[in-house]
Amino acid sequence: MVHFVGAGPGAADLITVRGRELIERADIIIYAGSLVNKELLEYAAEDCEVYNSAHMTLEQVTGIMEKNRDKSIVRLHTGDPSVYGAIREQEDVLERLGIEYDVCPGVSSMFGAAAALGAEYTLPGVSQSVIITRMAGRTPVPEAESIEKLAAHGASMAIFLSAGMLGELSERLIGGGYAPGCAAAIVYKATWPDEKRIITTVGGLAAAGAENGISKTALVLVGGFLDGGYERSRLYDPAFSHGCRKGAE
Ligand code: SAH
């Protein structure tokens, strides 16, 4: 059995209780070494075999899974495995091999980053949507999802895997309709001890990144939700009734 487990954004105590228990019971762990916090491996049993997938191909990873099909295998991915985790291709191989698997969710770095800033992506009167996207790199992005087209919505955006392309990202966000002065943030290594939070503007992204020496392991957040203005929520408005509370007339 293979358990895909979300390791969380960085801090070791941000893994789920279920994820930690799966690590404790694992015979084999294959972890994404570039971003998973190695402290999590301390939860593993002494005789657990540990592999770092940073140096491995898909075939090598699934080869270990096949060879140990009767053991408990944890495949540890950073954040939540469903976001840029490349789990679908592993699941397909396991299905072909008749090996069972399940997925334990994790705290994505987009939530670690929002927490670091005390920010709320979905502010009433500002935006009620979050766009999760990236710049095209070696992995292409469909044309209909270009930064310009997504920026045109003016929604809150969490942009992954793009910290090395901040100049181009900034230009394309502006090309899509964000004002150069619109608020933006770069959060480097959210929830790690060396976390950096940089508040800037869409037009200032490249300079802010260069000044702070950031070119990887960072999220770019963009949108009015970082600006301060909003309308208070209906849910906690004294005049508003809902299923759990009757409001004042
Ligand atoms: N599944 C992961 C994302 C993996 S893609 C998740 O849910 O978070 C790797 C990208 O995620 C990095 O390039 C960076 O953009 C982002 N990332 C991962 N951990 C991060 C962290 N602690 N702080 C900021 N960005 C992070």
Query: Which of 102-106, 136-140, 216-220 bottoms out in mean pLDDT, i.e. has the lowest?
Result: 136-140
pLDDT in tens, 145-170: 999 999 999 999 999 999 999 999 99
Whether 232 is in a domain gets the answer no
3-state secondary structure of 168: helix
Cα–Cα dist 157/10, whole Å: 21
Q: Quote the ligand 1 centre to 138 CA distance (angstroms).
A: 17
Six-digit token pair at 184? Answer: 């933006």
Give the nearest ligand 1 atom to 83 CA.
Answer: 1
Q: Is 109 in the pocket of ligand 1 (CB under 6 A)?
A: yes
Q: Quote the ligand 1 centre to 160 CA distance (angstroms).
A: 6
Asked whether residue 8 falls in the same domain as residue 72, the answer is: yes
Residues in the chain: 249
Q: Residue 158: which domain range?
A: 109-226
Whether 76 is in a domain gets the answer yes
Total number of domains in the chain: 2
Q: Is 84 in the pocket of ligand 1 (CB under 6 A)?
A: yes
**DSSP one-letter code for 225:** G
Q: Quote the ligand 1 centre to 23 CA distance (angstroms).
A: 21
Whether 131 is in a domain gets the answer yes
Beta bridge partner(s), residue 183:
201
Cα–Cα dist 206/77, whole Å: 29
Cα–Cα dist 1/8, whole Å: 21
Q: What is the pTM assigned to this prediction?
A: 0.94
Q: Is the pLDDT of residue 249 over 60?
A: no
Beta bridge partner(s), residue 159:
133, 220
